[in-house]
Chain A
Amino acid sequence: MQKSSVDIRSLQIGFGGLKVLENLDLHVGESEFLVLLGPSGCGKSTLLNAIAGLIDVKGGEIHIGGRDVTWAEPKDRGIAMVFQSYALYPRMSVRRNMSFGLKVAGTPQSEIERRVGEAAQMLRLTSLLERRPSELSGGQRQRVAIGRALVRHAGVYLFDEPLSNLDAQLRAELRVEIKRLHARLGATMIYVTHDQIEALTLADRIAVMQGGVIQQLDTPKKIYREPVNRFVASFVGSPAMNFIPGRLARGGEMVFVAGVNRLGLNGYVFRSQPTDAPVVLGIRPEHIEMTGADDQSSVPARVEMVEPMGADTLIWCRLADGTAFSFRRDADAQVRAGDALAVRFPADALSLFDEASGQRL
């Protein structure tokens, strides 16, 4: 199976006067699984459609497998695509859905049969080949759509929110299946989603997008641990990151000050020279630790509400000055609403953002 890299150079896309993407650069390596993540309207689907050749670009270049395909037809780009609504041909059997494109392209019959058989086996569709899409479940339909993409033996596979129409359980199953497929084929895949769990579980690298701009392009771990700005920090992660406004003060070591609470920042790696402009502290619920009240660095808090979530429990608290935050404990934590406790915010798990620009400090 061939693998292609994808190179996007200062890409511009607009509809009428509206600019959707401007000067976007992106490189996707061979065999890489890249996820484009962002809220609706951030331009991620537009970018994917442009790579597929389904919409015209205003400027810039798209190279696939080292070839400039900016103005090539979709079929000549060496790509295959899977859609949110499956987009199966409704009056054709599963077999015909998978083979029709190849047949029209003039592929020899024996080769078509070999590829369809191979894809069907890989996706456990062999027993469903003679059925029509209307006789299949949602998950089976999407597997057929993936099969239709696989038989093209493309260099790049594009996925446009392929799991969004499925219920939660099927989504999780198919997610694993796609990941397994990537491991087995080693093909280049670009995957669009608004679901951060899908992004974190599948991706080699994630491109978090907002307003037509890639905010951060990095490994899932890096995106989760060190978001470059407040948007990325709040969009990725569930339950969401806590944000506490305050300011920085220098007293021997750097200190974060929010009302009466002071928090030492020994261990935080600053990206830029800290100033005394207002800042926002971000910390993920699972990084907040419960401590004894005698701990020097701890802060007293009162439990407001407890949300059991199965494997663990989300505890909503307020600091003495009313600042709200949540943190995560395992399921058998003996905490009830109204309890008083002490918590600690480890400096190496924090993120600090400039309040005005939202950029990480």
Chain B
Amino acid sequence: MRLSLTSRLSAISALLPALLVMFVVYIGATSWTVWISLTNSRMLPNNNFIGLRQYEMLFNNDRWITSVHNIVIYGVLFVSLALLIGFLLAVAIDQRVRAEDTIRSIYLYPYSMSFVVTGLVWQWLLNPTLGIQHVLRSWGFEGATFDWIVRPETAIYCLVIAGVWQASGLVMAIMLAGLRGVDEEIWKAARVDGLPKWRVYVSIIIPMMDASFATAAVLLSTGVVRLYDLSVAMTNGGPGIASEVPAKFVMDHLFERANIGLATAAATTMLITVIAVVAPYLYWRARKGEMR
């Protein structure tokens, strides 16, 4: 069947905005970024091709190496701790506690705060001269020391604490939905079988909740890649460069240090890393879909 000209026009015009966004913003901007990373652009973009020199400089840059190191620590700890704590919170709420709605709201509350606010709050809490350490000492625990945020080797763990605090509530909400989806009779069958509660969770419930875990893990991982504002608000990358992260490296070099070439090389490296992680997963999902 041939469509009339007007109906084809309306179809095209309806698709056009999405296509434009797709080609110009995603593919266009991404390709341009990759191209700029192959030039010697400094403050303004230019087209002087210099091959992979920016990447060489990037991987000789201490600040970048620290950033990559930090994001790995942050990523592993943040995702696993948020999943663990979120799941445990959900299990706790699932025990038919009183005032469940209130508790659920309290747990979910941190997620409604921006990373900037989260970062500021935790910066104060962890600050040795006015936060937790100060309070403990004023209560008489003279030897109390909690100064991770001012020590270079531990500053990144402070970002993990703040991030986990913020994201656990969301994980709890996802997990709770999964737990509520478990048939009541499975619990009864397990009781008749004489299975201890922890055993039911470990051997039966958690394997049933793979979709919930996957959803939560994907959401958390995107948070890892774009980690920026928390670092800015909490430590501003410090002390020194101890809590720098890749996204902050990119932003700083783009707008403050006027080194577009290096910034785009960093951005491209991040993109390739993400693709390398996500592609096998998507492939596996597609294979699984075909097999069904």
A residues in contact (CB < 8 Å) with B: 49, 52-54, 73-76, 79-81, 83-92, 100-101, 104-105, 145, 148, 152, 160
B residues in contact (CB < 8 Å) with A: 183, 185-186, 188-196, 199, 203-204, 207-208
Pick from A49, A89, A100: contact of B186, CB below 8 A.
Answer: A89
Contact, CB under 8 Å: A87 / B195: no
Contact, CB under 8 Å: A87 / B208: no
Cα of A52 to Cα of B208 in the assembled complex, Å: 25
Contact, CB under 8 Å: A91 / B195: no
A81-B195 contact given A87-B183, A87-B186, CB 8 Å threshold: no
What are the residues of chain B within 8 A of A54 when measuring CB–CB?
Answer: 188, 191-192
A100-B203 contact given A90-B208, A105-B194, CB 8 Å threshold: yes
Contact, CB under 8 Å: B194 / A87: no
Pick from A53, A83, A91: contact of B189, CB below 8 A.
Answer: A83
* Residue of B186, B189, B192 with most partner-chain A CB within 10 A: B192
20 extra interface residue pairs, beta carbon distance < 8 Å, beyond A87-B188, A90-B207, A148-B193: A53-B191, A54-B188, A74-B192, A74-B194, A75-B191, A75-B192, A75-B193, A81-B189, A83-B189, A85-B183, A89-B203, A90-B208, A91-B204, A91-B207, A92-B203, A92-B204, A100-B195, A104-B194, A104-B196, A105-B194
Contact, CB under 8 Å: B185 / A85: yes
A sample of 15 inter-chain contacts (CB < 8 A) reads: A52-B188, A73-B191, A79-B192, A81-B189, A83-B185, A84-B185, A86-B185, A87-B185, A89-B186, A89-B204, A90-B208, A91-B204, A91-B207, A101-B192, A148-B193
Contact, CB under 8 Å: B185 / A80: no
Query: A82's closest neighbor in chain B, by CB?
Result: B189
What are the residues of chain A within 8 A of B204 when measuring CB–CB?
Answer: 89, 91-92
Contact, CB under 8 Å: A81 / B192: yes
9 nearest A-B residue pairs (beta carbon): A75-B194, A101-B193, A91-B207, A87-B185, A87-B189, A83-B185, A81-B192, A74-B192, A89-B204
Measured between C-beta atoms, what is the minimum distance from B288 to chain A in Å?
13
A101-B183 contact given A81-B189, A83-B188, A91-B208, CB 8 Å threshold: no
Cα of A79 to Cα of B204 in the assembled complex, Å: 21
Measured between C-beta atoms, what is the minimum distance from B278 to chain A in Å?
25
What are the residues of chain B within 8 A of A85 when measuring CB–CB?
Answer: 183, 185
Cα of A342 to Cα of B111 in the assembled complex, Å: 80
What are the residues of chain A within 8 A of B199 when measuring CB–CB?
Answer: 104
Cα of A86 to Cα of B185 in the assembled complex, Å: 8
What are the residues of chain A within 8 A of B190 when measuring CB–CB?
Answer: 89
Query: B209's closest neighbor in chain A, by CB?
Result: A91
What are the residues of chain A within 8 A of B195 when measuring CB–CB?
Answer: 100-101, 104
Cα of A101 to Cα of B192 in the assembled complex, Å: 9
Query: B200's closest neighbor in chain A, by CB?
Result: A89
Cα of A73 to Cα of B183 in the assembled complex, Å: 21
Query: A96's closest neighbor in chain B, by CB?
Result: B203
Cα of A88 to Cα of B186 in the assembled complex, Å: 7
What are the residues of chain B within 8 A of A88 when measuring CB–CB?
Answer: 186, 189
Measured between C-beta atoms, what is the minimum distance from A293 to chain B in Å?
58
Contact, CB under 8 Å: A104 / B193: yes
Measured between C-beta atoms, what is the minimum distance from B149 to chain A in Å?
42
What are the residues of chain B within 8 A of A75 when measuring CB–CB?
Answer: 191-194
Measured between C-beta atoms, what is the minimum distance from A249 to chain B in Å?
55
A52-B207 contact given A87-B186, A89-B186, CB 8 Å threshold: no
What are the residues of chain A within 8 A of B191 when measuring CB–CB?
Answer: 53-54, 73-75
* Residue of B183, B188, B204 with most partner-chain A CB within 10 A: B188
Contact, CB under 8 Å: A73 / B194: yes
Contact, CB under 8 Å: A52 / B192: yes
What are the residues of chain A within 8 A of B189 when measuring CB–CB?
Answer: 81, 83, 87-89, 145, 148
Cα of A91 to Cα of B211 in the assembled complex, Å: 13
What are the residues of chain A within 8 A of B183 when measuring CB–CB?
Answer: 85, 87
Cα of A76 to Cα of B193 in the assembled complex, Å: 10
* Residue of B185, B190, B195, B196 with most partner-chain A CB within 10 A: B185
What are the residues of chain B within 8 A of A80 when measuring CB–CB?
Answer: 192
Measured between C-beta atoms, what is the minimum distance from A80 to chain B in Å?
7
Query: B191's closest neighbor in chain A, by CB?
Result: A74
* Residue of A87, A92, A148 with most partner-chain B CB within 10 A: A87
Query: B188's closest neighbor in chain A, by CB?
Result: A54
Cα of A152 to Cα of B188 in the assembled complex, Å: 15
What are the residues of chain B within 8 A of A148 when measuring CB–CB?
Answer: 189, 193
Query: B204's closest neighbor in chain A, by CB?
Result: A89
Measured between C-beta atoms, what is the minimum distance from B163 to chain A in Å?
31
Cα of A84 to Cα of B194 in the assembled complex, Å: 19
Measured between C-beta atoms, what is the minimum distance from A85 to chain B in Å?
5
What are the residues of chain A within 8 A of B196 when measuring CB–CB?
Answer: 104
What are the residues of chain A within 8 A of B194 when measuring CB–CB?
Answer: 73-76, 101, 104-105
Measured between C-beta atoms, what is the minimum distance from A164 to chain B in Å?
12
What are the residues of chain B within 8 A of A91 when measuring CB–CB?
Answer: 204, 207-208
What are the residues of chain B within 8 A of A76 when measuring CB–CB?
Answer: 194
Query: B206's closest neighbor in chain A, by CB?
Result: A91
A100-B193 contact given A85-B183, A91-B204, A91-B208, CB 8 Å threshold: yes
Measured between C-beta atoms, what is the minimum distance from B170 to chain A in Å?
25
Cα of A316 to Cα of B189 in the assembled complex, Å: 47
What are the residues of chain B within 8 A of A86 when measuring CB–CB?
Answer: 185
Cα of A79 to Cα of B191 in the assembled complex, Å: 11
Cα of A145 to Cα of B185 in the assembled complex, Å: 12
Query: A145's closest neighbor in chain B, by CB?
Result: B189
What are the residues of chain A within 8 A of B207 when measuring CB–CB?
Answer: 90-92
Cα of A54 to Cα of B186 in the assembled complex, Å: 12
Measured between C-beta atoms, what is the minimum distance from B185 to chain A in Å?
4
What are the residues of chain B within 8 A of A101 when measuring CB–CB?
Answer: 192-195
